């Protein structure tokens, strides 16, 4: 590890921390329906949209209506995206003449983008037309991110409001996240990315003759417009197969920094929105601090493992860290940082091959996702994910102050515990369940590139990434087979919606409760003690169940390497 490496990490963290308050304040005003400086431009348009849709920002909904709207909207998105892919061959903006996508792959990709996972069993530049990229994927990049934000806002309102039945209006929350938050940032960001050299055109692929005289096809297209939302909305689906490692997706140090910052920006700011809405910003900072500790710990382990390198390689007289699968222009520190960011948030964009990381370095992204992507997390999803852990932590430890557990004045009772547990159960069920089938089924084992524990990690990583709606791939696994496309598609849908419904049910129950005023006997939830408790619960409740699987994957691989054996 180098000072320069750590400096880059510190600068990154500093920028994110500085963004939390201003962006949080702005987003709070947006979701409270207050005027912002963009209201002049978008206000009238927003109202026209509501009138056309037959709703109004005065219309507030019960959690069931809110959830139904959300599910219907996402189901429609799934169907539309499926058919755009299937019929892309007949549709315009297809200069490369891509044929329709196969049904299983189309299902996988549709599920992937609707759930904000952006797992890519396909290779963008050889599979999808520009129309599919723009109207299909980019649109879902926006709306799936907005869906996540809307859910988190509904849950925040459940804590902030007292004794009411309504959580807000899904259509309004969706519209506002896109119109006031995602779009403006993306427009500005995209222009910067274009300035930095990311292509934005509808031209056919360029065929160039290289110096050796070989023919090379250079893929391009409307890349920049997808890049900004891909990171800002923690989507992660690259325009090209190698994702942000491709020079057209990530041409410079500046674009790389913009990518990394935008992955965390909204998720981090949402903690502040939470604090502001419940009337005590310290509550938001406490959650942010818990996320921060886990993040820094992950970065430290991953950077250490990669910088330390492979002792077996050192034995051959080659000094230095592990550069396999990394680009020299990014180096070890930034590659490790990016890997942790992209899996802490549920982005999934990559600039290096996680498959080629050291066993322990590769375990960090895996653990980040197993914990349910609560370290900043996917936009919205990270906040509601960590709030589930908060509810459980408060319930277990809150009893220890001798009161029925309460968080922000809301009593945590049977209904909340039930819903939180249902939401927390789905991830281990899907991740471990599918992996257990895949590692013994011939169709599953056929996909792996390496034998032994490393191959096990490849399969495990795929299902963990899918269920956590991350979308990053460990690499090595051939995932474009019917078994993987279908099972991963199902895993993504289960991991997204079987979590959302209990979260919304919990919100519906919380919002009706009156708030107990805090007293000296109330468990304080803004201090270091609470942060420590929350960390303990996240690691024990969210992590321990994966210990056997980790032992059989990265841990044994690491120990075997120390013993001189690699896979």
Question: Look-up: residue for tokens 């590769």?
Answer: 362
| Burial of 425 from C-beta contacts in 10 A (0-12 / 13-18 / 19+) | middle
Of 51-59, 133-141, 292-300, 397-405: span binding other proteins (CB under 8 A):
397-405
Instruction: Compute the distance between CA of residue 268 and CA of residue 380 in angstroms, rounded to an integer.
Output: 10
Residue in 175, 193, 201 with CA at minimum distance from that of residue 250: 193
Binds other proteins by CB under 8 A, chosen from 187, 218, 401, 449: 401
- Residue 273 C-beta: closest distance to other proteins, Å: 24
- Residue 361 C-beta: closest distance to other proteins, Å: 18
Beta strand pairing status for 215-218 and 206-209?
Answer: antiparallel
- Residue 292 C-beta: closest distance to other proteins, Å: 20
Kindly state whether residue 440 participates in binding other proteins, applying the rule CB under 8 A.
yes
Instruction: Please report, as residue ranges, which positions from 140 to 169 form the binding site for other proteins (by CB under 8 A).
Output: 162
State whether residue 233 is helix, strand or coil.
Answer: coil
Kindly state whether residue 100 participates in binding other proteins, applying the rule CB under 8 A.
no
Kindly state whether residue 312 participates in binding other proteins, applying the rule CB under 8 A.
no
3-state secondary structure string, 395-427?
Answer: HHHHHHHCCCCEECCEECCHHHHHHHHHHHHHH
| Burial of 543 from C-beta contacts in 10 A (0-12 / 13-18 / 19+) | middle
Of 177-185, 300-308, 330-338, 518-526: span binding other proteins (CB under 8 A):
518-526
Instruction: Please report, as residue ranges, which positions from 36 to 95 form the binding site for other proteins (by CB under 8 A).
Output: none
Q: How many residues would you count in the chain?
A: 567
Binds other proteins by CB under 8 A, chosen from 399, 443, 446, 449: 399
Binds other proteins by CB under 8 A, chosen from 382, 428, 489, 508: 428
- Residue 195 C-beta: closest distance to other proteins, Å: 49
- Residue 460 C-beta: closest distance to other proteins, Å: 9
Count of residues of this chain found to bind other proteins when the rule CB under 8 A is applied:
67
Binds other proteins by CB under 8 A, chosen from 421, 481, 483, 486: 421
Of 85-93, 301-309, 381-389, 411-419: span binding other proteins (CB under 8 A):
411-419
Alpha helices in 196-310 (DSSP H): 224-232, 253-277, 281-308
249-288 mask for other proteins (x: CB under 8 A)?
----------------------------------------
Of 20-28, 89-97, 243-251, 448-456: span binding other proteins (CB under 8 A):
448-456
**Which secondary-structure segment (H or E) carries 27?**
helix 3-31
Instruction: Compute the distance between CA of residue 346 and CA of residue 344 in angstroms, rounded to an integer.
Output: 6
Question: Look-up: residue for tokens 């259509």?
Answer: 171
- Residue 326 C-beta: closest distance to other proteins, Å: 26
Nearer to other proteins, 211 or 440 (CB): 440
Establish how many alpha carbons lie within 13 A of residue 176's alpha carbon, considering only the half-sphere containing its beta carbon. 25
**Cβ atoms within 10 Å of 445's Cβ, excluding its own:** 14
Kindly state whether residue 442 participates in binding other proteins, applying the rule CB under 8 A.
no
Nearer to other proteins, 179 or 424 (CB): 424
Kindly state whether residue 404 participates in binding other proteins, applying the rule CB under 8 A.
yes
- Residue 450 C-beta: closest distance to other proteins, Å: 13
Nearer to other proteins, 43 or 452 (CB): 452
452-491 mask for other proteins (x: CB under 8 A)?
xx--x-----------------------------------
Sign of CA dihedral 211, 216, 221, 223: negative
Binds other proteins by CB under 8 A, chosen from 17, 194, 308, 515: 515
Binds other proteins by CB under 8 A, chosen from 97, 317, 402, 442: 402
Q: Render the burial of 101-138: b for 16+ CB within 10 Å, e for the rest.
A: bbebbbbbbbbbbbbbbbbbbbebbebbbbbbbbbbbb
| Burial of 37 from C-beta contacts in 10 A (0-12 / 13-18 / 19+) | exposed
Kindly state whether residue 498 participates in binding other proteins, applying the rule CB under 8 A.
no
Nearer to other proteins, 79 or 399 (CB): 399
Kindly state whether residue 292 participates in binding other proteins, applying the rule CB under 8 A.
no
Long-range contacts of 278-287 (CB under 8 A, 24+ apart): 278/156, 278/159, 278/160, 278/408, 279/160, 280/408, 280/526, 282/526, 283/408, 283/525, 283/526, 284/24, 285/526, 286/525, 286/526, 286/527, 286/530, 286/531, 286/534, 287/383, 287/386, 287/387, 287/390, 287/534
Kindly state whether residue 301 participates in binding other proteins, applying the rule CB under 8 A.
no
Of 180-188, 302-310, 371-379, 542-550: span binding other proteins (CB under 8 A):
542-550
Instruction: Compute the distance between CA of residue 136 and CA of residue 83 in angstroms, rounded to an integer.
Output: 9
Instruction: Please report, as residue ranges, which positions from 333 to 392 form the binding site for other proteins (by CB under 8 A).
Output: 392
Q: Render the burial of 290-313: b for 16+ CB within 10 Å, e for the rest.
A: bbbbbbebbbbbbbbbbbbbbeeb
Kindly state whether residue 398 participates in binding other proteins, applying the rule CB under 8 A.
yes
- Residue 553 C-beta: closest distance to other proteins, Å: 9
Of 16-24, 93-101, 117-125, 433-441: span binding other proteins (CB under 8 A):
433-441
Give the largest Cα separation in the chain, rounded: 79
Binds other proteins by CB under 8 A, chosen from 95, 103, 251, 433: 433
47: CB partners within 8 A, 6+ apart:
none
Tell me which residues touch other proteins (CB under 8 A).
162, 392, 395-404, 409, 412-414, 416-418, 421-422, 424-425, 428-429, 432-433, 435-437, 439-440, 445, 452-453, 456, 514-517, 519-524, 527, 529, 532-533, 536, 540-541, 544-549, 551-552, 555-556, 559-560, 562-563
């Amino acid at each position: 590890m180098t000072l320069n490496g750590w400096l880059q990490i510190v600068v990154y963290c500093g920028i994110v921390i500085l963004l939390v308050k201003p962006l949080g304040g702005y987003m709070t005003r947006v979701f409270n329906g207050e005027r912002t400086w963009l209201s002049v431009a978008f206000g009238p348009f927003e109202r026209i949209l509501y009138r056309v849709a037959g709703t109004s920002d005065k219309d507030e909904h019960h959690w069931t209506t809110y959830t139904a709207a959300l599910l219907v909207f996402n189901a429609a998105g799934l169907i539309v995206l499926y058919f755009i892919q299937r019929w892309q061959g007949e549709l315009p903006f297809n200069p490369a003449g891509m044929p329709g996508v196969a049904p299983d792959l189309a299902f996988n990709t549709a599920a992937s983008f609707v759930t904000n996972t952006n797992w890519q069993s396909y290779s963008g530049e050889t599979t999808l037309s520009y129309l599919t990229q723009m109207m299909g994927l980019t649109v879902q990049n926006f709306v799936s991110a907005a869906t996540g934000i809307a859910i988190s806002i509904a849950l925040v309102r459940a804590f902030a409001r007292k004794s009411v039945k309504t959580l807000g209006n899904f259509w309004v929350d969706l519209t506002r996240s896109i119109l006031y938050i995602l779009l403006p940032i993306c427009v500005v960001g995209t222009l910067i990315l274009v300035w930095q050299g990311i292509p934005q055109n509808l031209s056919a692929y360029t065929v160039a003759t290289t110096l050796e005289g070989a023919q090379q096809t250079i893929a391009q297209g409307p890349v920049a417009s997808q890049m900004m939302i891909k990171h800002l909305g923690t989507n992660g689906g690259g325009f090209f197969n190698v994702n942000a490692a491709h020079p057209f997706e990530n041409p410079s140090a500046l674009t790389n920094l913009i990518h990394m910052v935008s992955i965390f920006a909204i998720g981090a700011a949402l903690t502040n929105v939470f604090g502001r809405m419940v009337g005590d910003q310290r509550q938001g900072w406490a959650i942010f601090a818990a996320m921060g500790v886990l993040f820094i710990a992950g970065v430290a382990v991953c950077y250490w493992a990669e910088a330390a390198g492979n002792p077996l390689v050192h034995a051959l007289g080659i000094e230095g860290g592990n550069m396999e699968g990394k680009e020299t222009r990014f180096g070890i520190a930034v590659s490790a940082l990016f890997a942790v960011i992209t899996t802490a948030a549920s982005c999934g964009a990559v600039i290096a091959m996680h498959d080629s990381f050291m066993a322990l370095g590769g375990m960090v992204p895996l653990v980040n996702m197993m914990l349910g992507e609560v370290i900043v997390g996917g936009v919205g999803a990270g906040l509601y994910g960590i709030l589930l852990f908060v509810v459980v932590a408060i319930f277990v430890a809150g009893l220890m102050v001798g009161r029925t557990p309460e968080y922000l004045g809301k009593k945590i009772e049977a209904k909340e515990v039930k819903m939180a547990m249902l939401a927390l159960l789905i991830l281990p069920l899907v991740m471990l369940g599918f992996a257990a089938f895949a590692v013994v089924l011939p169709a599953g084992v056929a996909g792996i590139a390496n034998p032994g524990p490393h191959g096990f990690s490849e399969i495990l990583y795929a299902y963990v990434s899918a269920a956590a709606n991350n979308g990053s791939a460990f690499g090595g696994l051939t995932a474009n087979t019917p078994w993987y496309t279908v099972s991963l598609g199902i895993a993504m849908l289960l991991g997204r919606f079987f979590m959302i419904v209990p979260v919304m049910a919990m919100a519906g129950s919380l919002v009706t409760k009156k708030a107990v005023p805090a007293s000296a006997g109330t468990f304080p939830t803004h201090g270091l003690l609470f942060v420590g408790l929350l960390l303990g619960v996240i690691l024990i409740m969210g992590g321990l169940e994966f210990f056997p699987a980790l032992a059989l994957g990265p841990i044994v691989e690491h120990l075997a390497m120390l013993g001189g054996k690699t896979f």
